[in-house]
Amino acid sequence: MAYLPSHELVDGVLSGDARSIARMLTRAENGADEARAALDRLYARAGRAHVVGVTGVPGSGKSTLVAKLAAAIRRSGRTVAIVAVDPSSPYSGGAILGDRIRMADLAGDPGVWVRSMATRGALGGLARGTLESVDVLDAAGYDIVIIETVGVGQDEVDVARAAHTTVVVSAPGLGDDIQAIKAGILEIADVHVVSKCDRPEANRTIADLKSMLAMGLALDGPGERRGVAVVATSAATGEGVDELLVEIDAHRDRLVASGALAQRRSAIAERRLLKAAEDILRDRFERRRGAGVAALLARLDARSISPHAAALDLLRGLDWSAPE
Ligand SMILES: Nc1nc2c(ncn2[C@@H]2O[C@H](COP(=O)(O)OP(=O)(O)OP(=O)(O)O)[C@@H](O)[C@H]2O)c(=O)[nH]1
Ligand SMILES: [Mg+2]
């Protein structure tokens, strides 16, 4: 099929055309320069979807839960898109296959979009491509966009933080402690899930998590994080999945009613701005690795300039008005 320039895909994306959406997602993920203007236009048209981050340590049951949650969202009469990020396998054939199997009961439903993404593109392409994919699906009209990421590493946590509502999944039987604490993701939760509650060890995990929250270990954050719900779910029996959706909706309603949604939106915008600036900087640095940088490195080596002063030199030397 002929290659359509990205700007010719925008109308298709906005009208929900599957082929246009699929192509635009690929270009967002690849960070193609050619797609820049089209992505900018789609960003302008996005902002309507409720973005839900689902994170947790590997194997905590995120993908299985997200498939059930998506079905619950459909039952509530809304549409849903899922962006699943899998950092372990760059071109994750395995993950995509696994997701496809779990998503089998959603297959063929035009009200559900599932996209598995490789992470760790060159030059920190991860967060940008992921969030721009969310923009595409948001602009395409999906009511809820779920981002599933493994809660390890800063990039993944940043992605979870780009959500309006963040769900942190803890599973029984993955060790004695609440794994989310070790991973440093406990405090980013707006809703906690203890998954696999069909398993006998689940009660202990639920009790541990609740007492941890009650003790205030995870309550150093802003006041809005207090009173975070703990929902026990089982993707195997379906228990708790509808309740999870109720809690997600309740969180959104609280954000709207308190005015905190606006704050959260601007915090997300600020992080995205910084991230975009960082990406541009890194990109230009890589492209100019040659002469200028080599000379600076030699001076650093000889200690005739400090890293700080060299960095300022480098930034002054970049032509900021030139296109990337
Ligand atoms: N008993 C039980 N097992 C579950 C449940 N949900 C998931 N599992 C199992 O837990 C394992 C991990 O589930 P996934 O949904 O792949 O977990 P994940 O968090 O997406 O894993 P990664 O994407 O690899 O981080 C699988 O073997 C599932 O079958 C559940 O509700 N009950
Ligand atoms: Mg998964």
Residue 185 and residue 212 in one domain: yes
Tokens 């895909």 belong to residue: 9
Domains in the chain: how many in total? 3
Q: What is the pLDDT of residues 131-186, one digit of tens each?
A: 999 999 999 999 999 999 887 767 777 777 789 999 999 998 776 566 767 667 77
| d(CA 241, ligand 1 centre) in Å | 14
Which domain covers residue 291, as residue numbers?
A: 274-317
- pLDDT classification of 92: cutoffs 50, 70, 90: very low
Q: Which of 265, 291, 309 is the last residue of a domain?
A: 265
Q: How far apart are CA 222 and CA 255, in angstroms?
A: 13
Span 12-21, pLDDT tens digits: 999 999 999 9
Is pLDDT larger for residue 59 or for residue 222?
Answer: 59
Lowest mean pLDDT among 76-80, 102-106, 178-182, 258-262: 102-106
Mean pLDDT (the chain) is 84
For ligand 1, is residue 236 a contact (CB within 6 Å)?
Answer: yes
Q: Does residue 197 share a domain with residue 88?
A: yes
For 268-284, how does the pLDDT look when each residue is reduced to its tens digit (9 = 90+)?
999 889 888 888 888 77
At 292 the pLDDT is 74
Instruction: Tell the residue nearest (CA) to atom 9 of ligand 1.
Output: 61
Please say if the pLDDT value at position 59 is more than 70: yes
Does the beta carbon of 239 sit less than 6 angstroms from any atom of ligand 1?
no
Mean pLDDT to the nearest integer, 120-141 = 78
pLDDT at res. 226: 57
Give me ligand 1 centre to Cα 171, in Å.
Answer: 9
Domain membership flag for residue 16:
yes
What local confidence, expressed as pLDDT, does residue 52 receive? 97
Q: How many helices (H) and strands (E) does the chain have?
A: 13, 7
Which amino acid is located at 126 in the chain? L
Please, what is the Cα angle at 225 between 124 and 235, to 5 degrees?
75
The residue contributing the CA closest to ligand 1 atom 7 is 61
pLDDT band at 98 (very low <50, low <70, confident <90, very high): very low
What's the whole-number mean pLDDT along residues 115-143?
A: 79
How does DSSP classify residue 176?
Answer: S
> Looking at the domain assignment, is residue 21 inside a domain?
yes
* pLDDT grade for 37, boundaries at 50, 70 and 90: very high
What does the pLDDT read at residue 324? 53
Indicate if ligand 1 lies below 6 Å from the C-beta of 92: no
User: Does 260 share its domain with 285?
Assistant: no
Number of neighbouring beta carbons within 10 Å of residue 268: 16
Domain assignment present for 66: yes
User: In terms of domains, do 100 and 81 share one?
Assistant: yes
Q: Measuring CA to CA, how many Å separate 196 from each of 65, 73, 171, 173, 321?
A: 9, 20, 6, 9, 53
Q: Are strands 112-118 and 229-232 parallel, antiparallel or unpaired?
A: unpaired
Q: Which two tokens stand for residue 166?
A: 């963040």
**Domain match, 3 and 64 both:** no
62 lines ligand 1 (CB under 6 A): yes
Clarify whether residues 74 and 175 are in a common domain.
Answer: yes
Q: Is residue 158 part of a domain?
A: yes
Contact 160, 130 (CB under 8 A): no
Percent residues over pLDDT 70 in the chain: 80
**Residue 323 maps to a domain:** no
Instruction: Assess if residue 179 is contained within a domain.
Output: yes
R_g of the chain computed on alpha carbons: 21
**Which of 64, 86, 147 to probe ligand 1 with, by most ligand atoms within 8 A of CB?**
64
322 located within any domain:
no
Provide the token pair at 192: 């906690």
* 167/155 Cα distance (integer angstroms): 17
pLDDT, tens digit, 9 for 90 and up, residues 206-258: 988 888 787 765 455 554 445 689 999 998 899 999 999 999 999 999 999 99
Ligand nearest to the CA of 87: 1
User: Could you give the CA distance from residue 276 to residue 31 in angstroms, rounded to a whole number?
Assistant: 12
| Token reading at 277 | 């600036």
34 and 78, same domain (yes or no): no
Ligand 1 pocket member 63 (CB < 6 A): yes
Side-chain half-sphere CA neighbours of 270 within 13 A: 6
119 and 244 assigned to the same domain: yes
**Ligand in nearest proximity to the CA of 150:** 1
- Reduced to 3 states (helix: H, G, I; strand: E, B; else coil), residue 54 is strand
Residue 80 and residue 4 share a domain: no
Same structural domain for residues 145 and 180? yes
31 CB under 6 A from ligand 1?
no
Task: With cut-offs at 50, 70 and 90, classify the pLDDT of residue 320.
Answer: low
**281 CA from centroid of ligand 2 (Å):** 32
Say how many C-beta atoms besides its own lie within 10 A of residue 261's C-beta: 16
Between 226 and 2, whose confidence is greater? 2
Q: How far is the CA of 119 from the centre of ligand 1 (A)?
A: 20
Residue 25: per-residue pLDDT:
94
Ligand 1 contact, 198 CB (< 6 A): yes
Q: Are residues 146 and 286 in the same domain?
A: no
Angle between helical axes of 260-287 and 125-139 (0-180°, round to 10): 130
- Is the same domain home to 214 and 299? no
The CATH code of the domain that includes 214 is: 3.40.50.300
Note whether residue 324 is domain-resident.
no
**Ligand 1 atom having least distance to the Cα of 59:** 21
Q: What is the mean pLDDT of residues 37-46?
A: 97
Ligand 2 mean position, distance from CA 37 (Å)? 32
Q: Which atom of ligand 1 is nearest to the CA of 86?
A: 23
